[in-house]
Structure 1
Amino acid sequence: MTTILAEYLVTDQTTLLFVVRHEEEQPRVEQIPLTRAQLNAHVVRNPSGSAAVSPSDPLNELIAPLSRHCEPGDTIWFVPHDVLHYLPLHALLLGDRHLIDRNPVCYTPSASVMRYCQAKRRPGSRRVLVYADPRADMPLVHAREQALAITRLFGRDAVLRMGAQASVAKLEKDLAGLDGHLRVLHLACHGRYDPERPLRSGVFLARDGSDDGNLSAERILTMSLPADLVTISACESGTNARHPGDELIGLTRALIYAGAASVLVSLWAVDEVSTGLLMQHFYRELLSGTDKAEALRRAQRRLRDMTAAEVVAQCEQAAAATGDDATGEDWIDARLLLEESVAAVRFRAGDYAGAQVGYERLLPRASGPRLLRLEMGETRSRWAAAGAIERADYKRKIYEDPYHWAPFILVGDWR
């Protein structure tokens, strides 16, 4: 298998695709009949790329020429341009299949960035840092379960920081102690994109005294972050502002500048449950020796094809194991949220009566905003159960929509 560079140039009249293969001296040029105005209208209207699953969607023309220039299994290295930086090209259709069914992909904001990323590779590194659920006022129980699962996968090579321990000061200390030998930094937390001040975009770690815990792009630019892979399991972590010259300013560029060989980030606000499952699949593949681009491809396909029954089983398994890792209020909160997730999945599977029972069991143990949310879930389930015609279908693939499996992209070195 080989790697193909696919670089785009968007103009007012058309879109050009330059395809580069290592054995060829000159790039092949394809003209795609999509103007800047057409692309802007479509991507703004469909920010999650969900509409790109229709075989007749014009955006599929962006990748149609690739079938002539690469074989199934070849890695496609995308360099988007203009509004294409916000589009999950891997979720488009090539023929009747998503591109990820045919090829692993990676992205860089420019072709020159890849050389810099590859120079930062650390193939022999084993250490893993996992920071998760750092804010008690913004709990992320699935991020906590995600972190615990990832830590178990890497075993003694992993260091886990959760809650108040997951602060910027602790991160800087952990990084200093590793002397540049870091395989993965995984941050499972809330993220924020600031379109007015993109360098203020970032993720929220734990507050520590006068430190507000905001790990912004601006702050990362002052740090040394030598990691083979940085994963930001948070909303909109891969969203950047474009400046003149198509220069991307944001969290992704800051992480690469700080020393990361590759970065796994999201293009839009993500679902907590499906993201946790995606990350577990991804790291299992990575630990098996699969390269990063192929590991992400397999994880996205696995999530897309998961049935409601499989999701319920994983949530129930996590709920049953919660008591092993938390106590007191943390344990109660985690169990409630995981059980609520099971009820929500049952509803999506069309098991409205089962969802209603699940919500009813949770109501006596809830209060405040959660109680209102559960009451709404119970009411919706009860009304749906009363009017249900079709039977529940636990074979339904509830994460089939690209909203769930397509947001995460690998930027930088794919190996």
Structure 2
Amino acid sequence: NRQKQSIRKTEESLMAVRIAGREKEAKKLAEDLVKARNQYQDLLISAKEQSPEISSFVTVEAISLETLQSLLADSVALVEYLVTENELVVWVVTKTKIDVARVPLEEKQLNGLIADYRERIQKLAPIEEQAQLLYSLLIKPVESFIAGKRFLGIVPHGRLHYISFSSLRDEQSYLIEKHPLFYSPSASVMQYTFKEKAKRSREIKVLALGNPDLGDFNYDLPLAEMEANALKWDFPKVDVFTRKDATESWLKEHISEYQIIHIASHGEFDPVNPLFSSLKLTRSETEDGNFEMNEVFGLEINADIVTLSACQTGLGDIVGGDELVGLNRAFIYAGTKSILSSLWRVSDISTAVLIKHFYRNYGHANKAESLRKAQLLVKRLYPHPSYWAGFNLTGDYR
């Protein structure tokens, strides 16, 4: 905790000297901050090595094929990718068998395609050609293995974490028009997210935080506030906190009491120290308002779903293997069954429409179907994938 407080002080000093325009001082403080955060990360890693309980939060034991298949319904195909230097390997696991496809493809070429795709998505540029090319590489080789399955689970690898598979298409239609989709950071994580199916009832307790007061009107999200308040129409037991009441301290204290947690705020990804990626909430006397990934790991969360309706909340650092270190993973290890989060900056209006219809569908359909229906509705209003394909469901699709 002492180390954490020292990091906080350095962050505040850095902000102050930057505002004052003292560049030389700011450079030195920025270097100190990276050093302090690295030391804190090392501390967490050594704690993880000494404690099996903490270790299970941060890494997952590999899952056996038999256990994995026992978690899958007959209607599900799990598609897992491995990007290597000169080829792409794709496994398709169903309840009764496992198939593999190998695609000759240089990692460098794939990364270039993904970078082009991301840039076009952000700029609302034409993307049909890129979506078809990625489909031909990622989905076409396994079409015969997924035929007849309703739900597709995607386990991405490397830069594939940065694309939305729902926006990939063949000549006729988008993948989301054929299948409801869900994602998993790794196949092993499914032993936690699929352990038991959450019970649904009208008595669900819902927490909604929206448009926290970040002390700068440039960061205000008025539609996020409306988004949070709109949940009252679909669920009778909703606690809504906005502006000065949307504090980090209140959330941390009460997060375990809710089955649905909706946070509509800004997110910030830290590529240097992923454990310091955060959601921005209102600060209080006890908390600085940065709800960081390293803090999420230690909480007890009993939610069926956590929705992170903010800027780029789903992005994590690509750290190799099958590990995506992002806010999604932190929430899963704290006990969340599933997370709905965005892969890129999504328009406020289309987000509000999508979220409203997702929750409306949630009352009577599974989560993957609920998201698919909401996405297709937004697609009719705003056809470019940037508006409707940015939200991904990670974890339990049921």
TM range (shorter): 0.7 to 0.9
Number of the residue aligned with 2:181: 105
1:304 paired with 2:384, answer: no
Cα deviation for residue 75 of structure 1 reads 0.3
Whether 1:134 and 2:212 are equivalent positions in the alignment is: yes
Distance apart, 1:170 and its partner CA? 1.3
Instruction: State yes or no: 1:260 paired with 2:336.
Output: yes
Alpha-carbon distance in 1 for matches of 2:145, 2:373: 22
Letter in 2 for 1:263: I
Candidates 162, 176, 200, aligned match of 2:242: 162
1:242 aligns with 318
Alignment gaps of 5+ in structure 2:
1-73
* Uncovered stretches (5+) of structure 1, i.e. residues with no partner: 307-398
8 Å Cα contact 2:132/2:171 also seen in 1: no
CA distance in 2, matches of 1:72, 1:23: 14
Q: Determine what percentage of the aligned residue pairs are the same residue.
A: 35
> 1:222 corresponds to which residue?
298
What TM-score, normalized by structure 1, do the two folds share?
0.72
Q: Among 88, 97, 107, which residue is 1:36 paired with?
A: 107
- Answer yes or no: is the 8 Å Cα contact 1:4–1:70 preserved in 2: yes
Q: Tell me the CA shift for residue 404 of structure 1.
A: 1.1
Does the CA contact (< 8 Å) of 2:92 and 2:146 recur in 1?
no
Q: Give the structure 2 partner of residue 2 of structure 1.
A: 75
1:32 deviates by 2.4
SS at match of 1:305: helix
Give the C-alpha shift of residue 35 in structure 1: 2.0
Q: Give the SS at the match of 1:212.
A: coil
The one-letter amino acid of 2:294's match is E
Tell whether the 8 Å contact from 1:73 to 1:102 is kept in structure 2 after alignment: no
The Cα shift of 1:141 comes to 0.7
Query: Are residues 52 and 121 of structure 1, via their aligned partners in 2, closer, same or farther at CA, if it must alter by over 3 Å?
Result: farther
Instruction: Give 2:370's match in structure 1, choosing from 295, 304, 308.
Output: 295
Counterpart of 1:14 (choices 87, 106, 112) is 87
Partner Cα distance (2:238, 2:163) in 1:
33
Aligned residues: 315
Change (3 A) 1:95 1:20: farther
Q: Judging changes above 3 Å, is the alpha-carbon distance between structure 1 residues 171 and 55 closer, same or farther for their aligned structure 2 residues?
A: closer
Q: Is the 8 A contact 1:60 1:93 kept in 2?
A: yes
**Partner letter of residue 260 of structure 1?**
T
| Shift in CA distance, 95/68, structure 1 to aligned 2, threshold 3 Å | farther
**Distance (whole Å) between structure 1 residues aligned to residue 259 and residue 313 of structure 2:** 20
Displacement over 3 Å in runs of 4+: 48-52
Give the C-alpha shift of residue 240 in structure 1. Answer: 0.5
Cα RMSD (Å): 1.9
2:329 aligned partner, one-letter code: R
Normalised by the size of structure 2, how large is the TM-score? 0.75
**Compared with structure 1, are the counterparts of its residues 163 and 73 closer, same or farther at alpha carbon in structure 2 (3 Å cutoff)?**
farther
TM-aligned CA distance change 1:146 to 1:72, over 3 Å: farther
Q: Equivalents in 1 of 2:320, 2:91: separation in Å?
A: 21
- Whether the 8 Å CA contact 2:78–2:92 is kept in 1: the answer is yes
Task: Work out which of the residue numbers 124, 129, 134 in structure 2 matches 1:59.
Answer: 134
8 A Cα contact 1:231 1:264, kept in partner: yes
Aligned residue number for residue 85 of structure 1: 161
Could you tell me how far 1:246 is from its partner in structure 2?
Answer: 3.6
Judging changes above 3 Å, is the alpha-carbon distance between structure 1 residues 130 and 274 closer, same or farther for their aligned structure 2 residues? same
* Letter of the structure 2 residue corresponding to residue 151 of structure 1: K
Show CA shifts across 1:290-333 (max 9, x none): 10011111111100102xxxxxxxxxxxxxxxxxxxxxxxxxxx
Q: Which amino acid aligns with 1:45?
A: D
Q: 1:101 to 1:124 in 2, by over 3 A?
A: closer
- Counterpart CA distance in 2 for 1:200 and 1:56 is 32
Structure 2 CA distance for aligned equivalents of residues 49 and 229 of structure 1: 30
Offset of 1:281 from its aligned partner? 1.1
The 1:73/1:130 distance shift into structure 2, 3 A limit, reads farther
* 2:273 alignment partner in structure 1: 197
Residues 67 and 244 of structure 1, relative CA distance in 2, 3 Å threshold: closer
**How big is the shift at 1:55?**
7.7
